[in-house]
Amino acid sequence: MKKCMFVLLILSLFLTGCWDRRELNELGIALAIGIDKVEDEYQVTAQVVVPSEISAKASTGRSPVTLFQAKGETVYEALRKMTKNSPRKIYPGHLRMLVIGEDLAEEGIGESLELLSRDWELRSDFYVVIAKDVTAEEILNVTTTLEAIPANKMFNTLKTSETAWAATNGIILDELITDLTNEGKEAVLTGILVTGNQEIGTSKQNVESITPEARIIYDELAVFKKDKLLGWLTEEESRGYNDITNSVKNTVSVISCPKEGKISIEIIQLKSDVKGKMNKGKPEVDVNIKVKGNVGDVECPINLSEPKTFAELEKITEKKMEDTINQTIESVQKQYESDIFGFGEAIHRSNPKEWKKIKRQWRDEGFSELSANVKVDVKLQHTGTVTNSYLEDVKEIK
């Protein structure tokens, strides 16, 4: 009997429930957080769900989210100070978007990310983006169509865009911190901005018309060195970056026809292989990219039923991609001297001993003096449901 009582006593220690359990009606669920730097303080803005407005039965037609904001010497302090205004403690466990203001990014984002990497309540699968030409607060204050909750709109748009357009890239917190702490690769983040009338964008009026007065859209990639924002890539350079780093899932590239007009090439598969080496004591990389694609719309006189036509289009596509990649590497080397491509990491993998000798100078001069050999191999497979375009027949009728 005593033995049974002892076993029950031990088991009871594991049946005490969740020590940190909190009811949902005690929490303010934040789906997006924005961090700006205002003078010497962090200004933190939380986009919090209004539970009654996301319920189809209880909704009154008001905004499905509300903003809470506070300033503090640290991000942690600012989040806690929100309780002066919010009736519920802000809970970031379901965070989808972290928006960092451009001014803060230029000063350095390392300290502002420290809490978010440490907080046990946070999952690390949310996207991190940089507010371009506006504050993070202004981004979170815009109402959106199609997705009633702006944080969901931002998350789903970036998720869709990075799989269909080569100039955007969704970076989650873990990936960002890995790049920030890596000696052989610098970080990039996608930019986000507001177009149109920002004042109307904050009101319900913005979502009541077919064409919203203000929209949240994604822009090109931001270049970092250590944890500081240096500047922005162009759209073509953003494409070149994603080509090199094997980040393209599907996209469209427009090329010139052999004589006149344009053809769209759908890239359905891209595989990039970057290998580092030392050549006569100097660092060098080989960038080999294999591409599979299909012919999209054809806006020129060309006979796609001939095999030589495919070969010609493949060469044109290869030349365009190689030019874009070479121009991107040269621009980043000259303008930013920041190894966002991970070339240093490639040299480290291939020759660890030599990397130890050059890694201290890599950020200052090693990367900017590196030679890159770029080779693109394109194979076109299909032309869709027709071979040659009907446009030539239309022209003849006219």
217/114 same-domain check: yes
pLDDT by residue (tens digit) across 122-147? 788 899 999 999 999 999 999 998 89
Q: How many residues appear in the chain?
A: 398
The stretch 344-371 carries a mean pLDDT of 93
Same domain flag for 163 and 74:
yes
Q: Virtual CA dihedral for 298, 303, 309, 312, nearest 10 degrees?
A: -50
Does residue 95 fall inside a structural domain?
yes
Question: Alpha-carbon distance 367 to 338, whole Å?
Answer: 7
User: How many other C-beta atoms can be found within 10 angstroms of the C-beta atom of residue 100?
Assistant: 25
In a domain, 347, yes or no: yes
301 found inside a domain = yes
299 and 172 inside one domain: no
DSSP class of 211? S
The reply to whether 383 and 291 lie within a common domain is: yes
Q: Is residue 330 part of a domain?
A: yes
Q: What angle do CA 371, 375, 380 make, to 5 degrees?
A: 160
Summarised one tens digit per residue, pLDDT across range 248-283 is: 999 999 999 988 899 999 999 999 999 999 998 899
Confidence of residue 172 (pLDDT cuts 50, 70, 90): very high
226/183 Cα distance (integer angstroms)? 9
Please give the backbone phi and psi of residue 362, each rounded to the nearest 5 degrees, phi first. -60, -45
H or E stretch including 294?
A: strand 282-299
Say whether pLDDT at 398 is over 60. no
| Residue 156 phi, psi dihedral angles, 5° rounding | -70, -35
In the block, which residue shows the tokens 């250590």? 226
Antiparallel, parallel or unpaired: β 65-72 and 188-196: unpaired
Domain boundary among 232, 263, 290: 232
Range of the domain at 51: 24-232
Structure confidence at residue 389 as a pLDDT band (50, 70, 90): low
In a domain, 145, yes or no: yes
55 found inside a domain:
yes
Please compute, for residue 281, the number of CA atoms within 13 A of its CA located in the half-sphere on the CB side.
Answer: 0
Indicate which CATH number applies to the domain containing 273. 3.30.300.210
Statement to judge: residues 268 and 208 lie in one domain: no
Dist. CA 268–CA 274, nearest whole Å? 20
Same domain, 86 and 222: yes
The answer to whether residues 290 and 342 belong to one domain is yes
Q: Same domain for 184 and 311?
A: no
Q: Which two tokens stand for residue 289?
A: 């990219």
- Examine the domain organization and report whether 253 and 142 are in the same domain: no
- Residue ending a domain, among 232, 262, 282, is 232
Mean pLDDT of the chain: 88
For residue 119, pLDDT beyond 80: no
Same domain for 226 and 245, yes or no, is no
Q: Is the pLDDT of residue 331 over 90?
A: yes
Highest mean pLDDT among 116-130, 215-229, 350-364, 384-398: 215-229
Positive or negative: CA dihedral 72, 73, 74, 76: negative
Residues 203, 219 within the same domain: yes
Domain boundary at 232, 257, 288, which? 232
**Same domain membership, residue 373 and residue 268:** yes
Q: Is residue 18 part of a domain?
A: no
Rg (Cα) of the chain, in Å, rounded? Answer: 26
User: Could you tell me if residue 307 is inside a domain?
Assistant: yes
Contact 173, 109 (CB under 8 A): no
More confident residue, 385 or 327: 327
Q: How many domains does the chain have?
A: 2
Name the one residue in this structure whose structure tokens are 């509300």.
Answer: 66
pLDDT tens string 12-62: 544 554 444 555 567 889 999 999 999 999 999 999 998 877 765 656 678
